[in-house]
């Protein structure tokens, strides 16, 4: 791979990123009045964040079981309106304990 291909990759990436951000602004000049479309656009950031985060949670730990346990602990703590720091610490602690149990059992 030569140096010019790296510049080409960066250029293509920049154009695609620019188009994704520019096209909605230029195509939709009026306020969107469709309730279904407004609702879909409202929940889009949350759906994208979940699609990126959940697989990373499962595969960033030593086993999928500990990742799922940490996710369940985080969901329960968040449902109980705990702070973000508490949720993060509880989920990390759960992953740590479950991985130690799995290591001890094997």
- pTM for the predicted model, two decimal places: 0.61
Give the chain's radius of gyration (CA, Å): 21
| CA 78 to each of CA 64, 70, 87, 97, 104: distance values in angstroms, whole numbers, following the listed order | 21, 12, 6, 20, 29
Q: Is the pLDDT of residue 1 over 70?
A: no
Residue 61 burial by CB count (10 A; 0-12/13-18/19+): exposed, middle or buried? buried
Q: What is the pLDDT of residues 41-100, one digit of tens each?
A: 888 888 888 888 888 888 888 889 999 999 999 999 999 999 999 999 999 999 999 999
* Residue 83: alpha-carbon gap to chain centroid: 19
- pLDDT on residue 99: 94
- Domain limits of the chain? 1-30, 61-106
- pLDDT on residue 34: 86
């Amino acid at each position: 791979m030569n140096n010019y291909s790296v510049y080409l990759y960066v250029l293509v990436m920049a154009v695609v990123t620019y188009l994704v951000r520019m096209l909605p602004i230029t195509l939709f000049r009026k306020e969107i009045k469709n309730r279904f479309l407004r609702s879909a656009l409202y929940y889009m950031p949350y759906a994208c964040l979940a699609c990126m985060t959940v697989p990373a949670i499962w595969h960033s730990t030593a086993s999928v079981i500990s990742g799922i346990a940490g996710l369940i602990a985080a969901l329960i703590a968040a449902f109980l309106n705990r702070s973000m720091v508490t949720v993060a610490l509880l989920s990390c602690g759960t992953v740590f304990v479950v991985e130690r149990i799995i290591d001890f059992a094997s």
